Structure 1
Amino acid sequence: MKNASAVPATLDPPQDMRIVRAALYDEVVQRLRQMIFEGELAPGSRVPERVLCERFGISRTPLREALRALASEGLIELAPHRGARVSRLSPTDLDHMFEIMEALEALAGELACVRITEAGIAHVKRLHEEMVRHYRQRNRPEYFRCNQRIHESLVQAAGNPVLSRLYASLGDRMRRARYMANLSEERWRQAVEEHEAILDALIRRDAARIGPLLKAHLHHKRIALNTALQTSEQEESVQDASR
């Protein structure tokens, strides 16, 4: 007679162990993604696996799993026997993405002016004030995070799930582009001024005004990013010539 209390041979691993592993994987993916967005891992650079394993206190297995996930997002390129490299930003691809994003954000802003609650406006205003504080402190990473939350809040306030899905599908690739676009002091200052105007239009629920403001804001980012990419390519050419 079988013992009903016997442990089945096919018993799954304890749930808490799987949660820990999933949490580790997610954390590594998030940290690497942030390093790419903020330029610590530059476009075209080789991913230093050994250094990162030591820095994160992990083995190569979770690191490589995370790299494969980022490769599926287009942030990493994997080559057999050559390791991983951060993918370069293609000016043509970026132009195409910015064209779509300009239209999406303009529409989101127009819809948000109609549908956002007073509490939602207050939330965006608080994020804006926090963003400006980080700008004055010259804290780019925290400024960028607040900036992203503002744009995401406008999309959410638009109340259109299809728009939200389209926006999210471009999100990760666009984040890196947005960060690079504000690396110059002059563009950074202009971006803050543009956000002041966008917030004012939202508070006034001026849909006719906020759409063009958001479209122009993204267009200016596109111009700044193209300049940053050209500068980066020129610097790389100089470095290659000196080797």
Structure 2
Amino acid sequence: MSLTQALPKTARLRTLGMSAGIAASLRTMIQEGELPPGARIDEKAFCDAFDVSKTPLREALKVLVSEGLVLHRQYIGYRVAPLDLDELRETFETLHGLETHAGQLVANRLSDVALAKIERKHQAMIDAHAGGKRTDYFRINQEIHQMIVDSADNAVLSGIYATLMSKVHRARGAANADQLRWQESHEEHDAIMDALREPGRPRLATILRDHSENTAREVLRVVEQTLAEPSDRVVNARRGR
């Protein structure tokens, strides 16, 4: 029987509710790169940050273990799951082709309504960049990429792209923690928007692929560097809920 099961019913429901919220927060922190791959999770620090006991925190961590985002070893504790460099490289190679194909289709299929929506989302990303809101910026950045692919009006392409992007989401978050790449990515998105506005959009496919390759290069560099670092780093909670 787990600690949660041993609690009275009302307390168990309250604990499960708290653990769901904690799991959501930790999931976002992992996916956005705030909690780096391979680092050990300091349970006490996170209990203090979330102002909870170990029971809801561990219930949340068990959820993340089931999702493959966290690893648990008896007597060692919890770690953020490492990234697979070879899988990432192969995934990016496939994404480059999807970006190119999407760009070719979008050149002829992008509607004025879809472009207007992308324009508004791009402005929100600019605002997040200007405000130094890195997490918001990265989330909007991802949404823009999916919106562009969705504008190709090909459900199969959109589905495959979304699935593969979910595989590299966490790694991209880690790379976007780099200030230089953040600025470069911002400038590349400006170029993408310029290409979307051009009559006929002749440069769109090439610019989308170049952006994808630049992102992959930086992500793989950061992941390779992370894998080469000592594995006993401890994640300290830097924020609460």
TM-score normalized with structure 1 length: 0.76
Q: Which residue number in structure 1 is paired with residue 185 of structure 2?
A: 191
Deviates more, 1:182-191 or 1:145-154: 182-191
Alignment map for 1:87-126 (pairs within 5 Å) = 87-126=81-120
Alignment map for 1:40-79 (pairs within 5 Å) = 40-58=34-52, 60=54, 62-79=56-73
| Post-superposition offset of 1:190 | 2.1
Q: Which residue number in structure 2 is paired with residue 36 of structure 1?
A: 30
Q: Which residue number in structure 2 is paired with residue 210 of structure 1?
A: 204
Measured against aligned partners, the alpha-carbon deviations of 1:189-242 in whole angstroms (never above 9, x if no partner) come to 221221112112222364542122111111111111232234435553898xxx
In the alignment, is the contact (CA less than 8 A) between 2:33 and 2:175 conserved in 1? no
1:145 aligns with 2:142: no
In the alignment, is the contact (CA less than 8 A) between 2:38 and 2:231 conserved in 1? no
Other structure's SS at 1:77 match: strand
Other structure's SS at 2:230 match: helix
| Post-superposition offset of 1:50 | 4.0
Number of matched pairs: 223
Q: Which residue number in structure 1 is paired with residue 148 of structure 2?
A: 154
Q: CA RMSD in A?
A: 3.1
Deviates more, 1:65-74 or 1:183-192: 65-74
Other structure's SS at 1:98 match: helix
Counterpart CA distance in 2 for 1:26 and 1:238 is 27
| Post-superposition offset of 1:88 | 1.4
Matched to 1:186, the amino acid is L
Deviates more, 1:213-222 or 1:45-54: 45-54
The one of 217, 229, 238 aligned to 1:223: 217
Counterpart CA distance in 2 for 1:180 and 1:119 is 33
Other structure's SS at 1:236 match: coil
Unpaired segments ≥5 residues, structure 2? 1-8, 234-241
Q: Which residue number in structure 1 is paired with residue 126 of structure 2?
A: 132
- Going from structure 1 to structure 2, the CA distance change for 1:26 and 1:220 (only over 3 Å counts) comes to same
| Post-superposition offset of 1:25 | 5.5
In the alignment, is the contact (CA less than 8 A) between 1:182 and 1:221 conserved in 2? no
Matched to 2:116, the amino acid is A
- Going from structure 1 to structure 2, the CA distance change for 1:66 and 1:153 (only over 3 Å counts) comes to farther
1:166 aligns with 2:199: no
Matched to 1:91, the amino acid is L
Matched to 1:104, the amino acid is L
- Going from structure 1 to structure 2, the CA distance change for 1:164 and 1:21 (only over 3 Å counts) comes to farther
Measured against aligned partners, the alpha-carbon deviations of 1:147-172 in whole angstroms (never above 9, x if no partner) come to 11111211222222222222232333
Counterpart CA distance in 2 for 1:23 and 1:204 is 49
Counterpart CA distance in 1 for 2:154 and 2:208 is 17
TM-score normalized with structure 2 length: 0.76
Counterpart CA distance in 1 for 2:22 and 2:216 is 29
Other structure's SS at 2:196 match: helix
